[in-house]
Amino acid sequence: MVSLQKEVVNLNDPAVAVEDLRKYYGQTKAVDGISFIVRKGEVFTLLGPNGAGKTTTLEILEGLRKADAGRVTVLGRSLEHNDKTQKARIGVMLQETTLFPHLTVKETLELFASFYPRSLDVQKLLEEVGLIEKSRSMVKHLSGGQRQRLAFALAMVNDPELIFLDEPTTGLDPQARRHVWHLIERLKGRGKTIFLTTHYMEEAERLSDRVCIMDHGKIIAEGTPSELIRRLGSGGLVECRASLSEDDRRLVLSMFGERVILAEERFALKTDNLVETLRRVMDLSREREIHLESIVVRQPNLEDVFLALTGRELRD
């Protein structure tokens, strides 16, 4: 057994290096020539909508899927040398983890721990993920949030250096989602490297050291959350919810130019002059008889970055 302690890492030594990675399914370019590095000790996030290529990328890095082209190294070794010793250094949490329904929570962890030459203490791990009171419960009796915490524990049981988490909070209620966030933050505090995929903007902003925004198999932006958000400018946003006709959309674009971010049933205006922007919005509403359901003044976020880059909402 090994203890839960902080690792000493070289932050300049990449845990993952990807160069010109490609994966095609017929004419569909699931992953289309992407390159990035993941530094040791950081939380690195692939952010994008469903179908962007995040899971395919992750499965290639995990050794579950073969790339068509490109070069990948994980923990200093190419995927061709991904032997048992190398796999023991990695933890994986899939989008859907198939568990044995008639085993107890503790039995499940003990079974997975037996697959590795070294593992964490099962009892301490149960405490870590908040399942100590469910240790004797059968897996089939767990709630969705409890099953996710168990899957998270299984990804940690071998005390890995690098942990892949594929959409770890999808389908969870807000309380269960935040519990998983706390677990990720604890792992980061112990020096673990975490590769996360998500389509939740708040999750990426809160947890990530660096973010790659992915869409249609390509990386369209990369940086820290604050760096990406600063690309929208230093001011705030005036977000208006309204159903716009095509003529109205063209008018909004002509009036505000590059300052407007258009979505299906809302538009946001980047502004350094709040009073003037609000005046122009109200004039537009009155003159065109546009019903504004709401007007909110806020700071920009990663979802605004994605919308500005693609013209689509993150969860489209």
* CATH code assigned at 94: 3.40.50.300
Average pLDDT along the chain: 91
pLDDT tens digits, one per residue of 227-251: 999 998 878 999 999 989 999 999 9
The answer to whether residues 30 and 145 belong to one domain is yes
Give me the pLDDT at residue 12, please.
61
Q: What is the pTM of this model?
A: 0.86
In a shared domain, residues 293 and 195: no
Residue-wise pLDDT tens digits, 56-79: 999 999 999 999 999 999 999 998
Question: 311 to each of 35, 75, 201, 252, 316, how far by Cα in Å?
Answer: 23, 36, 16, 14, 10
In a domain, 25, yes or no: yes
Look at the chain and report how many structural domains it folds into: 2
SS3 119: coil
Tens-digit pLDDT profile for residues 156-192 = 999 999 999 999 998 888 988 998 999 999 999 999 9
For residue 55, the enclosing domain spans 14-228
> Which residue from 118, 128, 58 is spatially nearest to 88, judged by alpha carbons?
118
Which carries the bigger pLDDT value, residue 171 or residue 137?
Answer: 137
Q: Out of 166, 195, 228, pick the residue that ends a domain.
A: 228
Is residue 2 assigned to a domain? no
3-state secondary structure of 22: strand
pLDDT, residue 127, reads 94
Within a domain: 311: no
Q: Are strands 193-198 and 162-166 parallel, antiparallel or unpaired?
A: parallel
Tell me: do 168 and 279 sit in the same domain: no
Contact 131, 146 (CB under 8 A): yes
**45: nearest Cα among 166, 153, 144:** 166
Domain co-membership, 193 together with 251: no
Q: Based on the domain organization, do 279 and 246 belong to the same domain?
A: yes
Q: 306 in a domain, yes or no?
A: no
8 Å CB contact between 273 and 310: no
Q: Report whether pLDDT(7) > 90.
A: no
Per-residue pLDDT, 2: 46
Distance CA 201, CA 212 (A): 12
Residue 6 lies in a domain: no
Residues 217 and 259 in one domain: no
Same domain, 217 and 69: yes
Residue 3 is assigned to a structural domain of this protein: no
Task: Based on the fold, state whether residues 28 and 163 are members of the same structural domain.
Answer: yes
Q: Return the CATH number at 287.
A: 3.30.70
